[in-house]
Structure 1
Amino acid sequence: MSHLSTLSHRQQGLLLTAGGAIIMAPDALLIKVADLPDAEILMWRGFLSGLGFLLIALLRYGRGTLAAYRRCGWTGIAVALLFSLTTCGFVLGNQYTKAGNVLMILASSPLMAAVLSWIILKERLPRRTWSAIVVCMLGIAMIALDDAGAGSWLGNSFALMAATTLAINFTLCRTRPGVDMSPMLVFNGIVVGSIAGLFWLAGSEPALPATNQLAVVILLCLIIVPCGVTLLQRGPLYLPSAEVGLLLLLEVVIGTLLAWWILAEQPAPMAMVGGVLVLGTLSAKGLYERRLELRQRAGLDAISVTVDRSNTL
């Protein structure tokens, strides 16, 4: 039995989602480091990530890969199309405004997911989750406060599209409990790569990127994006969509810190406080819920022992 299978359902969801968020943390940074035109970066991201998603699906399901695709049904097609919009919004947002702006707007996805889950799935979230969302949003606002005036309306609009479609995506996944939608992300890559490729070919003198740019693109699109997004896409199988979105804030904070470090940007003191606030809130919430889970398990064990004794008597 694998170690993952020994964890509780909730623990598996936390581990998968947090792992995916951490893997995806360099995403915004590497898009800027690649420094490619809009259509070209989207084309490479689409086709290479699609190949990566396919390899992961074949590795996980083997001969059952086709059956895994059939289980997704029409919901899976909708998930793939939504994630295509998320990909375009995130990449183009980073092309037209600072990473801090994009990440701050992307951080609004937990609130959108919470509202959608309340409307569509009738999920009731505990007060601690709502409180954590509010505190984390405050922290993210503090992080990107010095970037807020520098972003263009176009870049911010693309980022808002990414946040909205991501929230809808995660909520939609929860309408099919137990069905893994991550294999459908292959079609997201095909859609994005094909459309962007047409624009790239229509441009003037299309050519391969430089060696250093190509290395960054391969690392990001063939390895980081497929691995990170596959984990994130599995999150709604275990956790409410709002909590999946909340854990995505790890990507926001770590990604912003990486951009500061690699691009030699000097973070403002308020931004540093905001990062500590977000990470501290996520850690405190996780530890508190872990204690609640242990108490509930201990209570169930005690009830089980009492019932066994009564039956013996």
Structure 2
Amino acid sequence: MQKRSLSTDGHMLGVLLVIASALMFSLSGVLTKAIAADVWTIVCWRGLIGGAAIAAYVAWRQRGRPLGPAFRLGPRGWVLAIVGSLSSLAFIYSFKLTYVANVAVIYATAPFMAAGLGWWIMRESVHARTFIAGGFSLLGVAIVVAGGLGTFSVGGDMMAVVMTFGNALYMVLIRRFCDVPVVWAGGMSALQLFFVSWLVTDPLAVSAQDAALLAAFGLSFAVANVLWTEGTRLIPAAQSGLFGSAETPFAIILAWLLLAELPPVASFAGGSMVLAAVFGHAAIDARRKHEFG
């Protein structure tokens, strides 16, 4: 009985950690919009603070053991880090150029893109329901992007598509490169952007308010990664995907409450289709995982 109770407590903790990580990740859009500095300055600060915090976390996890293996990326790890850096850059650009809701909705299709890439690159089997849900969500994305044609937001929408593809590829490469220290690869992807952006911008030419927001952005990025890493250790992957999907509605609600940002009708229509596909598919996966163990 005590063993079962401990298992239940661990599961609940995992759920709470994944939901908390989704909330922290959802702050990205609001913080990017609130910061007046340019994109390169944002990724510079976010990369330095987030990368350093992740490095400290990796070192803490390795306490009492040799640090070398945890920080040794190798060629595959560097590929992961580069893909992560490019995706992060597109991520920040997309928030600067379009509505937070549009980015959040488009990014919600990443699991379906990852399933398609996994089938193509690794010949992983994909359920028919995943193809159906993926097609439905991509139709929703098409409606969102079409709603921005001829307006300022279309460039940001396309950047969000590029970012989502990059993150989907990152998900697949994590499974392909199972020997790579994934958390540190994420930290190095952030630090890479810090070093590159330091060469193309003056990161110190920011206001005190922006400096505080940039510091918060870097810390939220690191905390979100740590919470997600710890949470996914405690619950099944299907449930992690389901509760992690809460990032999308969190981001939309925060943008509405804190920025008074209301996207056009097309964004709501397409977004509703994407969210229905994502949550419906995730709920079915979680239920089947529970039924069949």
Aligned to 2:29: 28
Aligned residue among 259, 265, 274 for 1:263: 259
What is the rounded CA distance, in whole Å, between the counterparts of 1:136 and 1:75 in structure 2?
A: 31
Aligned residue in 1 for 2:250: 254
Q: Which range moves more in the overlay, 83-92 or 177-186?
A: 177-186
Alignment identity in percent? 23
Distance in 2 (alpha carbons) for counterparts of 1:143 and 1:7? 36
The answer on 1:219 being equivalent to 2:216 is yes
Report matched runs for 1:102-251 at 5 Å: 102-138=103-139, 147=148, 149-151=150-152, 154-177=155-178, 180-201=181-202, 207-222=204-219, 224-230=220-226, 239=237, 249-251=245-247
Structure 2 letter corresponding to 1:221? G
Deviations 1:113-162 (A, max 9, x none): 12210012211122233333344445566677755553356434433332
The aligned length equals 286
Confirm or deny: 8 A CA contact 1:19 1:228 kept in the other structure.
Answer: yes
Query: Deviations along 1:194-234, whole A, 9 cap, x unmatched?
Result: 11111113xxxx64422322222111112x11122345578
Q: CA deviation at 1:89?
A: 0.7
Alpha-carbon distance between aligned partners in 2 of 1:144 and 1:5, rounded to the nearest angstrom? 43
Question: Is the 2:241–2:282 Cα contact (8 Å) retained in structure 1?
Answer: no
Match of 1:311 in 2: none
CA contact (8 A) 1:54 1:183 kept: yes
Contact 1:250 1:279 survives alignment (8 Å): no
Distance 1:158 1:139 in 2: 16
- Asked if 2 retains the 8 angstrom alpha-carbon contact of 1:84 and 1:191, the reply is yes
Partners of 1:66 and 1:154 in 2: how far apart? 42
Q: Secondary structure at the match of 1:62?
A: coil
CA distance in 2, matches of 1:200, 1:4: 49
CA contact (8 A) 1:83 1:165 kept: yes
1:304 aligns with none
* Structure 1 Cα separation of the partners of residues 154 and 143 of structure 2: 20
Q: Which runs of 5+ in 1 are unaligned?
A: 298-313
**AA in 1 matched with 2:215:** I
1:85–1:161: 8 Å Cα contact kept in structure 2?
no
**Amino acid across the alignment from 1:225:** F
The structure with more radius of gyration: 1
How far 1:94 moved relative to its partner?
2.0
Task: Compute the displacement of 1:257 (Å).
Answer: 2.3
Contact 1:98 1:147 in 2 (8 A): no
- Structure 2: state its 5+ residue gaps: none
Q: Distance in 2 between matches of 1:172 and 1:126?
A: 20
Q: CA 1:231–1:173 in structure 2 vs 1: closer, same or farther (change >3 Å)?
A: farther
User: Is contact 1:98–1:151 with CA below 8 Å preserved after alignment?
Assistant: no
Render the CA deviation track for 1:248-295: whole Å, top value 9, x for unaligned.
653233212221221113466675566665555555444443443333
Task: Give the counterpart of 2:71 among 69, 72, 88.
Answer: 69
Q: How does 1:11-26 map to 2 (within 5 A)?
A: 19-26=20-27
How far apart, CA to CA, are the structure 1 residues paired with 2:151 and 2:242? Answer: 26
Partner amino acid, structure 2, of 1:106: Y
TM-score when scaled to structure 1? 0.74
Q: Could you state the TM-score of these two structures normalised by the residue count of structure 2?
A: 0.78
8 A contact 2:134–2:277 mirrored in 1: no
Q: Would the aligned equivalents of 1:110 and 1:244 in 2 still touch at CA under 8 Å?
A: no
Distance 2:8 2:24 in 1: 18
Deviation at 1:165, TM superposition (A): 1.7
